[in-house]
Amino acid sequence: MKAARSPRSDKTKERMLVIRAGEIEDSRVESLPDQLRAGDLLVVNDAATLPASLHGRDSHNNQLEVRLSAQLDDSVWRAVLFGGGDWRTPTEARPSPPRLGAGEEIIFDGDLRARVVRESELSDRLVDLRFSPSGEGLWRGLYRHGRPVQYSYMNEALNLWSVQNVYSSRPWAVEMPSAGHALGWQTLLKLINKGVRIVPLTHGAGLSSTGDAEIDRALPFAERFDIPPATMEAVRRAGTAGNRVIAVGTSVVRALESSSLGLTGFTDLKIGPGYKLRIVSGLLTGTHDVTESHYQLLRAFLPEATLLRVSRHLEEQNYLTHEFGDTCLILSGA
């Protein structure tokens, strides 16, 4: 499938493939309220997208890029290092960064620096960084010097406002929770008027690709989530009433299916073939190529034969993929 190369000017016209009871139907996002029922519960990920890409240099003036992966405490972030170059070069074609051991410093600007705390055994490109300053000063520095993670298939560099959903809240995501990008206020209002309830949770969506084979095989890493008690109560009531719980994005699936661990924390749950969904009964998601890690999660929703038929249809009908691509709606029941 081809990648979408720019954000949509009219999100309501985004194509949407509906998969219900093994049958597939071509539709558009603007028809989402017609596809759902009064009483359905739609759960969104309200994490805002961080400016998680920072360009800097080491003490020998070697240029490198740092992509944040997850916040570990007030001043420490797990991050992936990239060599010189920019977003126009695919991650797998970027040169290797200089190896930075514990104690070595990365300089982003005079008021923003980071020191390597430890290297991961998985790859020397995966490191924990302690930033200076910390707290509020660090957040100011990230927003002053960082950019959103960029993608080589885009026509132009992305601005930070281009990678936010209309309901974005806390800045926890290092890449956009893109399944909700097509949901504008008009569509959300129509859903509410239809009797569909919409509730949020926050899940820190992580990096989707690094170009490092060892790191990419381990994705997704443990990711931070927070489910409001009111959201969990709405989920419980929907289940009791026999209504569907529909996740907007794979990050919502991961958070809800981890709720037995508690309503807040980190989850390393990986969902794939053979996993029995306990809470989620529907999914609004982007279109995913069979080579992507998100494709594995879809195997918990659809039999392999149906999933392969869906993949062929998406390819034959020229659906667009990646962050600003088209959408799939997977529904259980009639």
- Domains annotated for the chain, with CATH where assigned, are 2-49+157-331 (3.40.1780.10), 53-145 (2.40.10.240)
More confident residue, 252 or 220: 252
What is the percentage of the chain residues whose pLDDT exceeds 70?
98
What mean pLDDT comes out for the span 257-286? Answer: 94
Instruction: Tell which residue, 291, 205, 221, has the closest CA to residue 78.
Output: 221
Nearest-angstrom CA–CA distance, 331 and 329: 6
Q: Is the pLDDT of residue 206 over 90?
A: yes
Q: What radius of gyration do the chain's Cα atoms show?
A: 20
Looking at residue 204, its pLDDT comes to 96
Looking at residue 291, its pLDDT comes to 66
Express each pLDDT in 280-321 by its tens digit: 999 999 997 766 667 788 999 999 999 999 999 999 999 999
Judge contact between 167 and 145, C-beta under 8 A: no
Which residues sit opposite 1 in a β-bridge? Answer: none
Looking at residue 333, its pLDDT comes to 59
Which residues sit opposite 9 in a β-bridge? Answer: none
Chain center to CA of 102: 29
Q: Is the pLDDT of residue 188 over 90?
A: yes
Express each pLDDT in 144-186 by its tens digit: 999 999 999 999 999 999 999 999 999 999 999 999 999 999 9
Q: Is the pLDDT of residue 334 over 60?
A: no
Q: Is the pLDDT of residue 215 over 60?
A: yes
Residue in this structure with the two tokens 């009111």, named with its chain if needed:
230
What mean pLDDT comes out for the span 263-280? Answer: 94
Express each pLDDT in 105-117 by its tens digit: 999 987 899 999 9
Residue type, 109: D
Q: What is the mean pLDDT of the chain?
A: 94
